[in-house]
Structure 1
Amino acid sequence: MNLKIMGSALIIAGTALGAGMLAIPMVLAQFGLLWGTLLMLVIWSGTTYAALLLLEASIKAGGGLSMNTIARKTLGKGGQVVTNGLLYALLVCLLMAYIIGAGDLVKKMAASAGIELTMLQTQIAFTLIAGIVVAAGTAAVDKLNRVLFGMMLVVLVMTLFSLVPSISMENLMTVTSDSKVDLIKTSSVLFTSFGFMVVIPSLVTYNEGASQKQLRNMVVIGSLIPLFCYLLWLYAAVGNLTSEQLVHFANVSELIAALGTKYSSIHTILSVFTGLALLTSFLGVAMSLYHQNEDAFKQNRAVTYVLTFIFPLIGALLAADQFLAVLGYAGIILVFLAIFVPMAMTVKVRQQDSCGSGEQLLQTEQGTLYQASGGNMALGLSFAFGCFLLIAQMI
């Protein structure tokens, strides 16, 4: 795997790692590690396969700067309008959550350094500075993300070395809620935590000329990294704090404060880690929204920059204490955009393959078209997975 493909896999992983890393212990601790782990594996499997369906549609449609182009080529004008509406709503919700989380962290870190800043100031400063990197292009995001992700992994290892020796088996085995209905309700937050598929069209374009095997590996490896990180973080957090404490935290700073009070030496480490996780996730999602606006409105960088960040910033300022609630709203939108839309795109391009009609489709160097494995049975399971997530929202 070359550096460009590996960097793209890290963008996928970095996009997923962020809000989910912070929220997962808070929503899963009360149900015990067995059921929490099983549910996370189910969510990971469903989202990864849906991402491979989007990869197939993106490749066969000839790539494209954003989902706007792919939806037009596969689903027509009506599908393009629906896809764009869902995508904008999702990306704005995710960016709102990341800005809220990052603003809270920056405020706490500044206060520890003797600098008093308001939430308004920290959220605006974070958005403006991080947005400049996004506007510089995918290559700039890729290179910065490699550095940030490497730092994040180092900090994660340091965090685990600090927390693992003090893990309490009693905490790990404690189950304070046997309600499977409440467990299923957490699916939206977990699903949003694997919401990396929005960056796939941009990465297909960025890796023009890569083989289908490389692109498939990019998606699979990129999804496996956050899965392992989430599980390790879940075990470390639950092993050091009781489920009663975790379920009452409203934001990441409270989680860090609780662990920092118990183990003062890791307060700074946890702050740096969560900050890096939020930043890498913000960069991936913002890159997708920036490319979507660039493709849809055909404006210069300054105008595209404003269009990309003005609405998420305003939303974050108005919903400053709604971190988990915003993630829940994003989860509802993501079900349609990340499961049903890629499925519809894939069915359409496969019909074009069999009929030999439609727009010219991209072929690999072997002359064969990439297709996610599993056939109609896998498509049916993916549809059932999407229905499961919708039912979880309506319970």
Structure 2
Amino acid sequence: MNTKLLGSALIISGTALGAGMLAIPMVLAQFGLFYGTLLMAFIWFGTTYSALLLLEATIKSGGGLGLNTIARKTLGKGGQLVSNALLYALLICLLMAYILGAADLLTKGASSLGLTLSFTQSQILFTLVAGAIVACGTGVIDKLNRLLFLVMIASLIITLFVLLPHFSTQNLTQVSNHDHLGLIQTSAVLFTSFGFMVVIPSLVSYNNDASHKQLRNMVILGSVIPLFCYLCWLFAVVGNLPPAQLKEFSSVSQLMAGFEHEAPWIGSVLSLFTGLALLTSFFGVAMSLFDQNSDTFKQNRVVTYVLTFILPLVGAIMAADQFLSVLAYAGIILVFLAVFVPLAMVYKLRATDTLSESYAAEGGNMMMLFGLAFGGFLLVSQMV
């Protein structure tokens, strides 16, 4: 795998490693690690398969900078309108969640340096600066994301080593909530934590000289990295903080403060890690929305920049202190967009059977049925 494909895999990983890194311990630890780990592995498997279906649809339809073109080619104008509506709702919700989380960290970081930034000012500052980087293009995001990802992983490793002496195996077996229906209801947040599929059309266009096998491996590698990081982080957090305490956290800064008794500087390292996780996720999601707007409206970069970031910023300002709620809403939208839409695209493309030599996600009709059942499970999880 060349450096361009590796960088693209890291964009996939970075897109996933964002709000989920913060939300997973807060929503999952209370149910115990055994069931939480099983549910996370199941969600990861279903999400990765759905991403491979979207990859198949992107390749067979001839690609496109955004989902807009792919949906038009595979599902017609009606499917294009539905897909666009779902995509815009999803990406705006995700960007709102990332802006909320990043502003929380930025406000706290500025305060530690003796600077005073209101929460709203932090939201505006983060969105303007990070959005300007996104407007520079996928190549710039790729190169910057590689550096940020390496620093992020290094900070995670440092954090894990620092927390290791205080690790309590007794905490790992504690369960503060035995409501299995409540565990299933966390599926939307977990699914959103692997919500990297939105970047696939952009990355396929970016790697237009790659083989289908290389693109497939790019998606799989990009999905495995966040699974490994999520599991390590979940074990580290639960091993150091009781599940009952984690249940009470509702914001990023509260989670960070919970660790500061272990070492006076641990809060700074964790803030760096979570800040970079949010930033890489913001880059991936914002890149998808920017490319979608560019594909749909055909405007210059300045106009596309304004179209991309004005609604998420306004929404984040109006939805202060709603980090987990916004993430859950995004999870429900993501089920339709990332599971049912790719299923419909691939079903229609395979029915024509004109590109039998092109890439096809593994498993045939049996896995297509699994994908349908997986999407149904995620929807039911929000209604039980």
Q: Shared fold by TM > 0.5?
A: yes
Distance apart, 1:244 and its partner CA? 1.1
Q: Secondary structure at the match of 1:308?
A: helix
User: Are residue 12 (structure 1) and residue 12 (structure 2) matched?
Assistant: yes
Aligned position for 1:378? 367
Q: Secondary structure at the match of 2:26?
A: helix
Aligned position for 2:141? 141
CA distance in 1, matches of 2:263, 2:173: 21
Aligned position for 2:200? 200
Count of paired positions: 384
The code of the aligned residue for 1:388 comes to F
Q: Secondary structure at the match of 1:237?
A: helix
Distance apart, 1:264 and its partner CA? 2.0
Superimposed CA distance per residue, residues 75-131 of structure 1 (whole angstroms, 9 cap, x where no aligned partner): 000000000000000000000000000000000000011101101111000000001
User: Are residue 332 (structure 1) and residue 332 (structure 2) matched?
Assistant: yes
Distance apart, 1:292 and its partner CA? 0.4
Give yes or no for contact 2:166–2:262 (8 Å, CA) kept in 1: no
User: Are residue 37 (structure 1) and residue 26 (structure 2) matched?
Assistant: no
CA distance in 1, matches of 2:352, 2:201: 20
CA distance in 2, matches of 1:33, 1:304: 43
Q: TM-score, normalised by structure 2?
A: 0.99
Aligned position for 1:292? 292
Give yes or no for contact 2:141–2:283 (8 Å, CA) kept in 1: yes
Superimposed CA distance per residue, residues 121-148 of structure 1 (whole angstroms, 9 cap, x where no aligned partner): 1100000000111100000110110010
Spell out the pairing of 1:199-348 with structure 2 (5 A cutoff).
Answer: 199-348=199-348
The code of the aligned residue for 1:371 comes to A
Distance apart, 1:266 and its partner CA? 1.0
Unpaired stretches in structure 2, ≥5 consecutive residues: none
Give yes or no for contact 2:163–2:262 (8 Å, CA) kept in 1: no
Distance apart, 1:285 and its partner CA? 0.1
Distance apart, 1:26 and its partner CA? 0.5
Superimposed CA distance per residue, residues 45-98 of structure 1 (whole angstroms, 9 cap, x where no aligned partner): 000000000000000011110100000000000000000000000000000000
Aligned position for 2:80? 80
CA distance in 2, matches of 1:273, 1:341: 33
Q: Secondary structure at the match of 2:259?
A: helix
Distance apart, 1:189 and its partner CA? 0.4
Distance apart, 1:166 and its partner CA? 1.3
CA distance in 2, matches of 1:309, 1:164: 40
Superimposed CA distance per residue, residues 327-376 of structure 1 (whole angstroms, 9 cap, x where no aligned partner): 000000000000000000011111122xx3xxxx6x9xxxx200001000
CA distance in 2, matches of 1:260, 1:267: 5
Distance apart, 1:35 and its partner CA? 0.3
CA distance in 2, matches of 1:110, 1:90: 30
Kindly report structure 1 stretches of 4+ aligned residues shifted beyond 6 Å.
none
Compute the RMSD of aligned alpha carbons: 0.8
CA distance in 1, matches of 2:113, 2:137: 33
CA distance in 1, matches of 2:264, 2:182: 33
Q: TM-score, normalised by structure 1?
A: 0.96
Distance apart, 1:8 and its partner CA? 0.3
CA distance in 2, matches of 1:265, 1:290: 37
CA distance in 2, matches of 1:263, 1:57: 49
**Seq. identity, %:** 66
Distance apart, 1:209 and its partner CA? 1.4
User: Are residue 159 (structure 1) and residue 159 (structure 2) matched?
Assistant: yes
Aligned position for 1:122? 122
Q: Secondary structure at the match of 1:62?
A: coil
Distance apart, 1:12 and its partner CA? 0.2
Aligned position for 1:387? 376
CA distance in 1, matches of 2:281, 2:77: 30
CA distance in 2, matches of 1:245, 1:195: 27
CA distance in 1, matches of 2:361, 2:245: 42
CA distance in 1, matches of 2:83, 2:264: 47
CA distance in 1, matches of 2:150, 2:51: 24
Unpaired stretches in structure 1, ≥5 consecutive residues: none
